[in-house]
Amino acid sequence: MAKWGEGDPRWIVEERSDATNVNNWHWTERDVTSWSQDVINNLLLGIHVEGEEGSCKITDVSNIDGEASINNRKGKLIFFYEWVVKASWTGTNKIGIKYKGTVEIPNLSDENDMDDLDICVSLCKDQPSTPLTDLMRREGVKKVRAALGNYVKHLKTEFSQGMILPTENALNKQNQEPQAKVKLDNIQIGSSTTGNSSNTGVKIPTVSFSLKDTFLTSPEELYRIFLNKEMVQAFTHLYAFVDGCSGGKFQILEGNVHGQFAELIPDEKIVMRWRFSSWPAGHAATVILNFVNQGSETELILEARGVPSNEEERMKEGWQRYYFDAIKQTFGYGALLC
């Protein structure tokens, strides 16, 4: 299955500057995805723990999926990173028997504090139970969290060099007038009453839209699909992180879509904060799903609010194709053939 937005130039992140940029004052963006993957890989591969149970070490980092960038917006550095990480560990007990397991981090993101990071340690399915798993969960998780904290520290210090901006007083006087005009233009644009403000302080013009579709199943079954990790993975055909409770977070489609369940009314309504990872940091749309019982079928009514105006069609098409149509095809909830 193609990724949502694949081939869309809006997904491409590269180093660029505004044509009117003066000393990187207005806009600079640097892609640090490859650098980040190398750093995360090196930091995790160095992890080794020992205890009464034996010793464990991370032997392979199989997947580091996501992206990272540093943005310089009007004199402020903004760090964006979104990663799903999978690694393998090997343990050896006191009598020399070896065991294998995995470590998964589904939500390494600028939106999450290190203390909120989910680090899931498990034993491979074909392995017998061992106290080494507890050793990894107790001591290994601490070292993984510290290693990823070091990655963020490196990102915000060493790699941001050259993007620190001069103060306004340090600019040449002959450049002050055009810069003032740029600032004024930005204020005028940002003051639009049709926009929502992200935590970057930039007003984003937004729109609302609605979609409707009918599914040949009960509201209970359709409701459950959106909150069950295995079912989400089934219709997206990709790894997903889904904490299906009020306040729980989700991350699907290789991290391209993520958010949080804000309100759940069983079998009737799901309210979520929903965003593409490419949207400005801190901005999310509100998506409301209403499940209407119509006897042998369910009408699903979607209401989306706070959608960036230039993303309306992309989001509509994505929900229809990667949610509605995919659910019908995977679970057989489409129209009956006469």
Task: Report the range out of 18-27, 197-206, 295-304 with the highest average pLDDT.
Answer: 295-304
Convert 156-194 to b/e letters by CB count within 10 Å (16 or more is b). eeebbeeeebeeeeeeeeeeeeebeebeeeeeeeeeeee
**Secondary structure letter of residue 33 according to DSSP:** H
Asked if the model's pLDDT at residue 3 lies above 80, the reply is no
Average pLDDT value for the chain: 81
Asked if residue 128 lies in contact with residue 101, where contact means CB atoms within 8 angstroms, the answer is no
Quote the CA–CA distance of 61 and 28 in Å, as a whole number.
31
Asked if the model's pLDDT at residue 74 lies above 90, the reply is no
Helix (H, G, I), strand (E, B) or coil at 91: strand
* Confidence (pTM): 0.46
